[in-house]
Chains A and B, each alone.
Chain A
Amino acid sequence: MNTDDLPVLSIELLKASIEELLASYSVRILAFFAMPNKDLENTEKPFHLIAILLDASTRTLLGAAAEVGTRYTAFTPLIPALHLFEREIAEQYNITPEGHPWLKPVRSQNMTDADDAAQEANTENPADSEAAKFFRLSGKATHEVAVGPVHAGVIEPGHFRFQCLGEDVHHLEIALGYQHRGIEAMLKGGPDLRSLHYAETVSGDTTIASVSNYAAIIEALSDTTPSGESLLLRNILLELERIVNHAGDIGALAGDVAYLPTSSYCGRIRGEYLNMTAEVAGNRFGRNVIIPGGMRTGLSSEKAEKLLNWLYKTKYELDVALDIMLDEPTALDRFEGLGTITEFDARTIGAVGVAARAAGLDIDARFDLPPAGEDTAEQLFPFSSSPIPACSGDVISRIKIRRHEIENSHAWLFEVLKNAIEKPFTNIDPPKTSGKLAPDSFAVAVTEAWRGELVHVVFTDEAGRFKHYKIIDPSFRNWFALALSLREAQISDFPICNKSFNLSYCGHDL
């Protein structure tokens, strides 16, 4: 869409509108960020605050902007789901959301993104050192446990600070931002040869969702329509990615409670699904296969048939591996009632994806925002064939939701692959277009990645280059949910809780 079509409201009106829209439970926030505006550079309000919302009842995206200076009244007290977004805004552009309860830096004190003139002009960093400190529990019997950023396992850097009374955790604070990747900054000025690869590496286990979003952005901005077969193939890969991670995570959860059989089987079975991805895409994590406008490779009937049989066989093995764990009382005892997030909390903090669904929120971008206008549209997303299991927001609920999604993805993949045997995907080349992006426009892409909805928002400048590339990884929304789920839990149960979310560090440390 053209940038001029984005309504610019006053800051008060923007806040009131978001608040009013959120009151109807079908609306949720997708993105909220600040963007420097060249036209307004010398005015008192050189930034635009951009809010993108999704109305699931009408399946529409809502967007609005507001001009702000270096201070505005924080939205967070009224709309807690925005708390992390506002912290990010404060950190990146030194804009102070006044009245924000907790302006702790999100990623670091001095973000690499601070190359803007506005930042230099305003040297007073709102993320002051007092706010940067960890909350502490005082008292003789309390103790503090610090974990990370260097961990015992091969995982990414993140610091966890537990305030404990004996074995009970009263508060967990998660500090991320050790990676300083600067992906959003590097994407500025694109698209160029590297942009696609940056998009692929946003978070390695979410490659397909991320690059689908990137492709959708380029397609929308250059008015290119990829073939239905290309879109279908992207979704096949996306569902494989979902199964890979769900199966791997449930296996890892089994490992964390020392339940060996499921742990080992799932480890191997995850590899089977990765290899299926490689069979289609030529890469186990689906890199280098999705390109703007189409795909690099199609799907022949032989491959579809091979994949179908492979899927049937592996699905059976996965069922056995999951059933033995879900029938094992000692394993269930570890998962039940642990790490609970209530529906109210999940909605209030704006959790997304598996975590939100496990708390009882019915949000899923695959259903809330299906692709429109294609012949294959109803085929393009895996519709829910079985009812969502009853959930109470604890670890076992997240396992059940993941299992449910594994079932649904398989059911859908079986259908699509059966059709693909009859009618192989050959029409996958990008249509010939100029490839030029529309100037002064913006596009929003939303994909339900396996963790939750992944949102890319892109603005182009007058030459059709990326002026602002904003990525909101589902992990960014859900890390706070993890912290909440640990309240009053046992510190020894943290790894299980953590694994049930399995959030991305690099997706957060963009």
Chain B
Amino acid sequence: MWYICFFLSLLLAPLVPGIINKTKAFYAGRYGPRLLQRYYDIVKLLKKGTVRSTTSTWVLALAPSISLAATLTAALFMPFAVYKSPVSFEGDIIVFFYLLAAGRVALIFGALDTGSAFEGMGASREAQFSALCESIVFGVIAFIILLTGRLSLSTSLIGLDFTAWSQTGTSLALVAVAFFAALLAENSRVPFDDPETHLELTMIHEAMVLDNSGPDFAFIQYASALKLWLMISFIVLLILPLKATSPIVSGLLFFGGVFVISVIIGIVESVIARFRLLKIPQVFAGALALTLIAIMIYMVFEI
């Protein structure tokens, strides 16, 4: 079953940006791009040739592949619905997040390799913000480890059921909010970044990949969609007590949950403006505080 969910996830990942864009278009009173637009984009890019700047070296050439490989490997550790990952081991929760980080580091090196001012700026911003964002993610992980006593994605996330919500609902809700903020930031969504903008000077993630084209860019597009899918899966597993349902229902709930979160991201992007870059660290500090408060609530009141 896990394999079915795994391959289904790989297949459905590019749908998430489509759902977000449809939601945004709905709010703006437009039709918006097709749901399957990201698939078309990836296919189109795969058919094209790659153009690389003459100033760049093998670092740029390799970066997209490493990024995709790291994200795919991370996906292997992800449990889907109530099905454990076959390769899971105690401690893979750390491996999972650092594989995602490794993908980003590859892109950062690739961006620096081009020597372009925009990409340097984008890389600098991405490095700065993801370093800060990491603290939130690890706050969340610390909470989950405290809650379940397990160090593996599969065992800790699947272990949650109704009792988790009934006994530790307050702290779980705070953690979910904090992780949602981290999700938006990690995947360069509004209010932290604007994936739609054409303004190079304001971009974070997009500025980093300006010099990538063709299949390279397809890899990046797919990897970012998959990363978004994985982080949404994480939050769905965190907040939905799937263990309490039957396997089939849990599967449906899981995929349904991913799409609902995608719609919520679309709504968030529609109703607030992007933050000033200077404000972003403050938002991170707020989200980190939420996770710490959650841990405190858990340890003092809920244990």
Contact = CB atoms under 8 A, between A and B. Distances in A.
Interface of A: 143-147, 152-153, 167, 254, 256-261, 263-265, 268, 328, 330-331, 333-334, 490-495
A144 B24 CA distance: 35
B209 to A, nearest CB: 13
B202 A256 contact: yes
Interface of B: 24, 27-30, 117-118, 120-121, 190-191, 194, 196-202, 269-279
A265 B117 CA distance: 34
Contact of B28 (A145, A260, A491): A260
A490 B202 CA distance: 10
A1 B24 CA distance: 59
Q: Which 5 A-B pairs have the closest CB atoms?
A: A264-B28, A259-B273, A331-B273, A258-B274, A257-B273
A141 to B, nearest CB: 12
B28 A334 contact: no
Contact of B190 (A143, A254, A258, A261): A258
Best-surrounded residue of B196, B197, B202, B270 (most CB of chain A within 10 A) = B202
Contact of A330 (B30, B201, B272): B272
Contacts of A490: 276-278
Contacts of A331: 272-273
Contacts of A263: 28
Contacts of B273: 254, 257-259, 328, 330-331, 333-334
A126 B250 CA distance: 78
B121 to A, nearest CB: 7
Contact of B277 (A261, A265, A492, A495): A492
A146 B119 CA distance: 12
Contact of B197 (A167, A254, A258, A328): A258
Nearest to B276: A334
A92 to B, nearest CB: 33
Contacts of B194: 258
Contact of B274 (A143, A167, A257, A265): A257
Nearest to A153: B198
Nearest to B203: A492
Contacts of A492: 201-202, 276-277
Nearest to B198: A152
B277 A167 contact: yes
A268 B28 CA distance: 10
B208 to A, nearest CB: 14
A494 B276 CA distance: 12
A95 to B, nearest CB: 37
Nearest to A254: B273
A459 B278 CA distance: 53
A153 B202 CA distance: 13
B272 A264 contact: no
A143 B120 contact: yes
Given A494-B201, A495-B202, A259 B272 contact: yes
Given A145-B118, A492-B277, 18 more contacts: A143-B120, A145-B121, A152-B199, A153-B199, A167-B278, A256-B197, A257-B274, A258-B269, A258-B273, A259-B274, A260-B24, A260-B28, A261-B270, A330-B272, A331-B272, A492-B276, A494-B201, A495-B201
Contacts of B117: 143-146
Contact of B201 (A145, A258, A261): A145
Contacts of A495: 199, 201-202
Nearest to A160: B201
A264 B30 contact: yes
Best-surrounded residue of B117, B190, B191, B273 (most CB of chain A within 10 A) = B273
Contact of A333 (B24, B269, B276): B276
Contacts of B274: 257-259, 330, 334
A167 B202 CA distance: 10
A257 B276 CA distance: 9
A132 to B, nearest CB: 21
A328 B274 CA distance: 11
Nearest to B24: A260
Contacts of A260: 24, 27-28, 269-270
Best-surrounded residue of B30, B196, B200 (most CB of chain A within 10 A) = B200
Contacts of B196: 258
A144 B118 CA distance: 10
A8 B149 CA distance: 92
Contacts of B197: 256, 258
11 contacts: A153-B198, A167-B277, A258-B273, A260-B27, A261-B27, A261-B28, A334-B275, A490-B278, A491-B121, A492-B201, A495-B199
Contacts of B269: 258, 260
A264 B276 CA distance: 21
A311 B118 CA distance: 43
A102 to B, nearest CB: 24
A330 B191 contact: yes
A330 B274 CA distance: 7
Contacts of A144: 117
Contacts of A153: 198-199
A262 to B, nearest CB: 9
Contacts of B191: 258, 330
Best-surrounded residue of B30, B199, B278 (most CB of chain A within 10 A) = B199
B287 to A, nearest CB: 16
Nearest to A259: B273
Contacts of B277: 167, 490, 492
A179 B190 CA distance: 36
A153 B197 CA distance: 9
A116 to B, nearest CB: 40
A495 to B, nearest CB: 4
B276 to A, nearest CB: 6
Given A256-B197, A334-B274, A264 B29 contact: yes
B22 to A, nearest CB: 13
B125 to A, nearest CB: 8
B43 to A, nearest CB: 24
A175 to B, nearest CB: 16
Contacts of A328: 272-273
Contacts of B275: 330, 333-334
Contacts of A491: 121, 201
Nearest to A335: B273
A448 to B, nearest CB: 30
B90 to A, nearest CB: 41
A499 to B, nearest CB: 9
Given A331-B273, A334-B274, A490-B276, A256 B199 contact: yes
A328 B27 CA distance: 16
Contacts of B118: 145
Best-surrounded residue of A152, A254, A265, A494 (most CB of chain B within 10 A) = A152
Best-surrounded residue of B118, B120, B201, B276 (most CB of chain A within 10 A) = B201
Contacts of A268: 29
Nearest to A491: B201
